[in-house]
Structure 1
Amino acid sequence: MPAEARPWANLRMQIAYRSKRLNTGHMIEADQRFGRRDAIGPHGVMLFFVSDAPGEPHGYKLHTAYRLWPQSPDSDNLSGLLSDLTAVAADNIATIGGRWSPLGPKGSMVNGGDMTLPAGATYVGVGVSTLDSDRGGWYQVARSVREAAAMGRNLSGFDLKGQCWALLTDGTALHIDRDPHARLGVTGIRCNKDLDVDQFTYFRPDEDLIERGDDATHAVWQQLAALHHTLAAHLLARRPA
């Protein structure tokens, strides 16, 4: 792989594994609060930034801020949630102007993670964490855990799957299928660009990743792209020349 392409390949993998960890934490927290008044919704949004870090292998450090929502009818609809968040971002840009950051302090879009960034940190992408999976929607699978426990079966939130989507400023699209029971070596990571820093290929089996899937998946990609383009146009325009 050409030297100039290696940092991006490394960043894609870092973001994929960071997303997996955040999705796991999202799952555990939602499972612990399931059925309570402070229950967490099944969807969250992640914002990715990098800062210069000469001591790191590729010269940068990844920072991730995220937002989770309380359980409600509005936060149960992922496509609608992303659409609403894009509208909020556009309104903040229009009213606050060039000073607005999705990390706040005014008009913050996040409530967890790296909410304070080093000077000069750069926006590189946005992602989604969801507890819905090919095993069913979150509420269905959460109830199945409790039914299994009532029947004496050893099953917990740690056994449940989750998934993530991400779009990056270099055109990367990522889909991460987090399966705690996946076979050794099966990462569940699909990407339209190279992930291996030691290998460059012209054949990428997931190059058409965004075009795949059902209508609900297409809607997620579409709304995530709208949010990503809104944030990128604003945040990258603020960078010094």
Structure 2
Amino acid sequence: MPVEARRWADLRKQVAYRSKRLNTGHMVEADQRFGQRDALGPHGVMLFFVSDAPAEPHGYQLHTAYRLWLASPESDDLPRLLADLAEVAAENAARSASAGRRWHPLGPDGSMVNGGDMSQPAGATYVGVGVTTLDSEQGRWHQVARTLREGLATGRHLSAFDLKGQCYALLTDGTALHVDRDPHARLGVDGIRCNKTLAPERITYYNPHEHLTEQGDDNTREVWRQLGALHHTLTAHLLAGRPA
């Protein structure tokens, strides 16, 4: 099995697990700040980079920076949020280019992030973008968060650690990942759906998620579409001139 294939399969899993962990942190922080002046919005964006790390099993280290927003009507609309971010990224890149500089989403000028690995090794390479969202099949975040405080009709109270979350990610090798973070999932059920293999040594003839970005309801497909536009903008700017 080619080294590159094993590396990408490992990276897909690392991105999925990192996204799930960030989604959990997003959920806990949003729950703690719910109803306050600094309440968090239900959606965030994650940027993924890798740097060379010869001591690691697959020779790389994953770095993740993210952006969370304060709660507002604008930050509640995920497709709109992604579309606006793609537009801002394109404007920042064009403005820097006209001034003879090269813009980077981690800053220092026009930073797109406010958390995570904002200082990375020189030469770290962009490999993808993702979304953390607190909306799930249990309901929209604001609705579910109120339930935490009011209790269920049964009289039982839930905590943030009972709630589901979701993540979406697109990587530069054409990977599309969806993570359904379910704290009550059965042992062995990781909630990861991917259009590419997570286990390159296993021969599979059929992948039900091969066309992942075309599946789901209208809103889900629109999230994929706008995330794809942001990914295209970042890839075109950050990887321009690099060998494929």
- Normalising by the smaller structure, the TM-score range is over 0.9
Q: CA deviation at 1:154?
A: 3.9
1:187 equivalent to 2:190? Answer yes
What SS does the aligned partner of 1:99 have?
A: coil
Residue aligning to 2:43: 43
Change (3 A) 1:238 1:25: farther
Q: CA deviation at 1:124?
A: 0.2
Q: Which runs of 5+ in 2 are unaligned?
A: none
Q: CA deviation at 1:197?
A: 4.3
Q: CA deviation at 1:223?
A: 0.2
What SS does the aligned partner of 2:28 have?
A: helix
What SS does the aligned partner of 1:51 have?
A: strand
| Match runs of 1:36-115 below 5 Å | 36-97=36-97, 98-115=101-118
Structure 1 residues 51-73: Cα deviation after superposition (integer angstroms, max 9, x where no partner): 00000000000000000000001
Partners of 1:123 and 1:235 within 8 A in 2: yes
Q: CA–CA distance in 2 between the matches of 1:51 and 1:5?
A: 17
1:121 equivalent to 2:124? Answer yes
Identity, % of aligned pairs?
74
Partners of 1:10 and 1:197 within 8 A in 2: no
Q: CA–CA distance in 1 between the matches of 2:161 and 2:182?
A: 10
Partners of 1:54 and 1:60 within 8 A in 2: yes
Moved over 3 A (4+): 149-152, 238-241
Number of aligned residue pairs: give it.
Answer: 241
Q: CA deviation at 1:148?
A: 1.2
Residue aligning to 1:174: 177
State the TM-score, normalized to the length of structure 2. Answer: 0.95
Q: CA–CA distance in 2 between the matches of 1:69 and 1:158?
A: 21
Amino acid at match of 2:218: D
Q: CA deviation at 1:147?
A: 1.1
What SS does the aligned partner of 1:128 have?
A: strand
Change (3 A) 1:207 1:174: same
Q: CA–CA distance in 2 between the matches of 1:151 and 1:204?
A: 40
Residue aligning to 1:20: 20
| Match runs of 1:198-213 below 5 Å | 198-213=201-216
What SS does the aligned partner of 1:37 have?
A: coil
CA RMSD of aligned residues (A): 1.6
Q: CA deviation at 1:198?
A: 3.4
Q: CA–CA distance in 2 between the matches of 1:66 and 1:149?
A: 33
Amino acid at match of 1:80: R
Q: CA deviation at 1:208?
A: 1.2
Amino acid at match of 1:160: L
Q: CA–CA distance in 1 between the matches of 2:206 and 2:154?
A: 48
